[in-house]
Amino acid sequence: TLAERANLAGVRHIVLVLSGKGGVGKSTISTELALALRNAGKRVGILDVDLCGPSIPRMLRVQDSAVHQCDSGWVPVFVGQDKAIALMSIGFLLERPDDAVVWRGPKKNALIKQFVTDVAWGDLDFLIVDTPPGTSDEHISTVEALRPYQLLGAILVTTPQ
Amino acid sequence: LAAQLSLSLAECPGTGSAQAGRAAACQGCPNQGLCAAGKAGPDPAEVAELRARLRAVRHTVLVLSGKGGVGKSTFSALLAHGLAADESKQVALLDIDICGPSIPKMMGLEGEQVHQSGSGWSPVYVEENLGVMSVGFLLSSPDDAVIWRGPKKNGLIKQFLRDVDWGEVDYLIVDTPPGTSDEHLSIVQYLSATHVDGAIIVTTPQEVSLQDVRKEINFCRKVKLPIIGVVENMSGFVCPKCKNESQIFPPTTGGAEKMCQNLNVSLLGKVPLDPQIGKSCDSGQSFLAEAPESPATLSYRNIIQRIQEYCEQQRFQEEKIM
């Protein structure tokens, strides 16, 4: 729908950060990549679709932030030294940071779809999508939801063993 | 919509609860139909079937984390080897990480296949008293991706419990993927058919891991799964040449020790980094056997002993009551 397309319409490049394996540094790389691109003068956003273990808010020191709404949807949290990196994560929706999000697939899929279509990203050069380990609901849903948009590609992160 | 989702996040009664699908917060939740129909979890007939199959299992432990890459599979494999060192004990290792099954490689069983007999699927045996089951054995190639949504994963987990002929088992160790999702909900629900001694939670010292592990601890409390204790992996590195100790993953918020104090759970032990651990895992050998003098081996052995004592003590208490 037109409304759904609008929120990502101003995003030039969408990059997925994947692994398969956990604990190899996906979130770390996503964060550092965003900061480096910002340093190079680009407009950057991060979408954290790790619903069970969202690491990005802490890495950018915004774990206590909350999300607000506007006419076009959710307003991302703006982070980084110049508050210019847009971030969306389930971390911002939890009442308490230690609350476990114990959801089965369908509920996770619904939230991911909302994260893709209902966040007012504005104009971005890069949207970096950080994912959880595995090849399951989150990954299938994210790729499906992003299909209508300009998906640049995926960066795969690993460790040597 | 955001407000509605935040509300349902806070007030989800839990997919396994009596209120599942029926609470006010369930309105509009995409899971509502499943929960209300009671289809979010296993039905009582299935549970009865599983109970029969798992009757001969004396002790069951789950190895959990919440965080990926902290050493759950490594620990599960070594726990299995450690317990199976006593040849009078029958040990079973079940790998329910469907997307990233590490156990076949770590146990030196890559390429093995599952055979069927009249009594069910046969586990793959590393030793006579150590049997293993993993989706890894069902793939035609180790690089095949298993891209399944939750319900299909749950189906396979149920099959692992229902169709594998484990026989008489002293210890069933269940290795899990990271997270708190379908696999974890399902294994807890299916295992309600048998007695679960508890969960061992694995972490590394840094806060980015601990914040996921606290969620896992809350998950265990939510589903009433006893916590045997926490293992802190990658806890310091001692250089084999100069013997200097470094904190590769500094415990900036006090590590597992502080977290355990705060949450009133037991710290089973801390295991230092040893490059031989990764090498042994890659080559499918038992690190405990390959590096018996390593400080990491000593730590693992102490932890394994504490787990054994916990399980035996539980049994003793039950038998006293009976």
pLDDT tens, residue by residue, A115-161? 988 999 999 999 999 999 998 899 999 999 998 887 889 999 999 99
Nearest CA in chain B to A101: B180
pLDDT tens-digit readout, B31-51: 677 666 655 556 778 888 888
- In chain A, residues with a C-beta closer than 8 Å to the C-beta of B147 are 135-136, 139-140
Residue contact A114–B1, C-beta within 8 A: yes
pLDDT tens-digit readout, B281-291: 999 999 999 99
Residue contact A136–B14, C-beta within 8 A: no
- In chain A, residues with a C-beta closer than 8 Å to the C-beta of B204 are 23
| ipTM rounded to 2 decimals | 0.89
Nearest to B100 among A106, A110, A134 (CB): A134
* Predicted local distance difference test score (pLDDT) of residue A152: 84
Band of residue B5 on the pLDDT scale cut at 50, 70, 90:
very low
CB proximity A8 to B under 8 Å:
no
CB proximity A75 to B under 8 Å:
no
CB proximity A132 to B under 8 Å:
yes
- In chain B, residues with a C-beta closer than 8 Å to the C-beta of A120 are none
CATH of domain B44-321: 3.40.50.300
Write down all domains in chain A, each with its CATH number in brackets. Answer: 11-157 (3.40.50.300)
Question: Residue type for B241, please?
Answer: K
- In chain A, residues with a C-beta closer than 8 Å to the C-beta of B2 are 67, 69, 73-74, 93, 118
- In chain B, residues with a C-beta closer than 8 Å to the C-beta of A104 are 15, 31, 34, 40, 150, 181-182, 185
* Predicted local distance difference test score (pLDDT) of residue A5: 56
| Measured CA distances, B11 to A25, A66, B19, B138, B166 (Å) | 32, 18, 11, 39, 40
